[in-house]
Amino acid sequence: MNHQYYNVLGIMSGTSLDGIDIAHITLLRKESWSFHIHRAITVPYTSEMKQQLAEAITYNKREVEQLNLKYTRYLAEKILNFIDAHKIDNLVAVCSHGHTIFHQPQENYTLQIGNLPELAQLINQRVVCDYRVQDVALQGQGAPLVPIGDQLLFGAYDYCLNLGGFANMSFEQNAQRIAYDLCPVNVVLNHYALKLGKEYDAGGAFAKAGTIQTPVLEQLNSLEYYHQNAPKSLGMEWVNAHIFQILDPIKDTCDIIATYTEHVAVQIAKQLEPEKTLLITGGGAFNTYLIESISKHSSAKIIIPEAVIVEHKEALIFALLGVLKLRNENNCLSSVTGADRDHSSGVIYVP
């Protein structure tokens, strides 16, 4: 595609199960890329869908296939509602990440549901999706994928940190973009907040009320993953195998949340050089206690942008990945994922 103006939707569903992020975006390519987010929402999952997505990691092949089709139809309904409500027309594409069920790059396998050809037919739009599979086939981690967007849209910052279900960060090093998952964040904090009757730890109030359990904190910080070199990435399989079994023996849930919040702050801070600029986005950016904890461990200059970018930066960047795919330009960086080469990933479906 030769034109430089792209009217698209970016769609993202994260592992923290907050909901489906849908953003109407204009991307413009001149000397460099620029963007405008016209409107963006997060559509909460129904309790039934949220439960199925959380349990899907235990499903057999047939159950996963059934959920994939159900989720694709569910996703199509939410996208159509958004398009109709805002009277959006002349879209170049709907660029959708899907929802990750399995992520096992060491087994050459990753699965994001909602990336079926039916999606294009149901919404009657061109769809670009399924960005991770090709990277894993090229011996990459299939994650993180956001760093190409950090480089092209947010390159003015030394570090770009996303605090979502997992913390991942990207930065330039020796003229290459480097990125990796730092640690789980909201997939753990939200899990324990639910035990206290809340969807998440608003502002870090539970963490502030708890007491950090130093022996447990040391056990968390000593996990092998944190001492591995990049490229590396995390999935719920790793969280289930390593994190919960360390935290569950703590009797007080606020103590668990306090200890884990401190763990996250420590893991992030140790990646940062002094006085560098750090752009923080994702739901965790609203956790003021966590942000303050990072500041206590690092002298990096923290920048939290306007709320629409905090909440929808990933939807924005998956829109960019889709446009790069349409332009047949690289949207996966081997320096980030460890794949055999840079490549243009994703599949394109037409109605």
For residue 3, is pLDDT > 90? no
**Mean pLDDT calculated for residue range 322-333:** 97
**Hey, which residues does 348 pair with through a beta bridge?**
128
pLDDT in tens, 175-232: 999 999 999 999 999 999 999 999 999 999 999 999 999 999 999 999 999 999 998 9
In a domain, 302, yes or no: yes
Query: What is the per-residue pLDDT for 8?
Result: 98
Cα–Cα distance between 281 and 224 in angstroms, integer?
A: 27
pLDDT tier for residue 2 given thresholds of 50, 70 and 90: low
Q: Which domain holds residue 96?
A: 5-146+340-349
CB hemisphere CA count around 192 (13 angstroms): 28
Cα–Cα distance between 137 and 116 in angstroms, integer?
A: 19
Cα–Cα distance between 143 and 150 in angstroms, integer?
A: 14
pLDDT in tens, 35-68: 999 999 999 999 999 999 999 999 999 999 999 9
For residue 350, is pLDDT > 60? yes
CATH code, domain carrying 98: 3.30.420.40
Looking at the fold, whether 62 and 42 belong to one and the same domain comes out as: yes
Percent pLDDT > 70 in the chain is 99
Looking at the fold, whether 139 and 169 belong to one and the same domain comes out as: no
Query: What is the per-residue pLDDT for 321?
Result: 98
Cα–Cα distance between 115 and 96 in angstroms, integer?
A: 8
CB hemisphere CA count around 139 (13 angstroms): 5
DSSP assignment string, 137-190: HTTS-----THHHHHHHSTTSSEEEEESSEEEEEEEETTEEEEEEEEE-HHHHH
Looking at the fold, whether 298 and 204 belong to one and the same domain comes out as: yes
Cα–Cα distance between 285 and 160 in angstroms, integer?
A: 12
Looking at the fold, whether 12 and 130 belong to one and the same domain comes out as: yes
Burial call 217-251: b when 16+ CB within 10 Å, e when fewer:
beebeebeeeeeeebbbbbbebbeebbeebbeebe
Chain-centroid distance of CA 89 in Å reads 27
In a domain, 237, yes or no: yes
Query: What is the per-residue pLDDT for 165?
Result: 92
pLDDT in tens, 91-128: 999 999 999 999 999 999 999 999 999 999 999 999 99
Looking at the fold, whether 74 and 61 belong to one and the same domain comes out as: yes
Cα–Cα distance between 298 and 314 in angstroms, integer?
A: 25
Looking at the fold, whether 113 and 159 belong to one and the same domain comes out as: no
Task: Answer whether 349's CB lies under 8 Å from 120's CB.
Answer: yes
CB atoms within 10 A of CB 176: 12
- The SS3 assignment for 193 reads helix
In a domain, 312, yes or no: no
Cα–Cα distance between 207 and 189 in angstroms, integer?
A: 9
- Two tokens, residue 200: 């998440």
In a domain, 263, yes or no: yes
In a domain, 316, yes or no: no
- Two tokens, residue 8: 């698209």
Looking at the fold, whether 133 and 263 belong to one and the same domain comes out as: no
For residue 247, is pLDDT > 60? yes
Average pLDDT of every residue of the chain:
96
Looking at the fold, whether 283 and 295 belong to one and the same domain comes out as: yes
Task: Answer whether 213's CB lies under 8 Å from 224's CB.
Answer: no
Looking at the fold, whether 67 and 102 belong to one and the same domain comes out as: yes
Beta-carbon contacts of 218 under 8 Å, excluding residues fewer than 6 positions away, are none
For residue 285, is pLDDT > 80? yes
> Hey, what long-range contacts does 2-7 have (CB within 8 A, 24 or more apart)?
4/28, 4/29, 4/30, 5/29, 6/92, 6/93, 6/323, 6/326, 7/90, 7/91, 7/92
For residue 15, is pLDDT > 90? no
Cα–Cα distance between 59 and 64 in angstroms, integer?
A: 6
Task: Answer whether 185's CB lies under 8 Å from 227's CB.
Answer: no
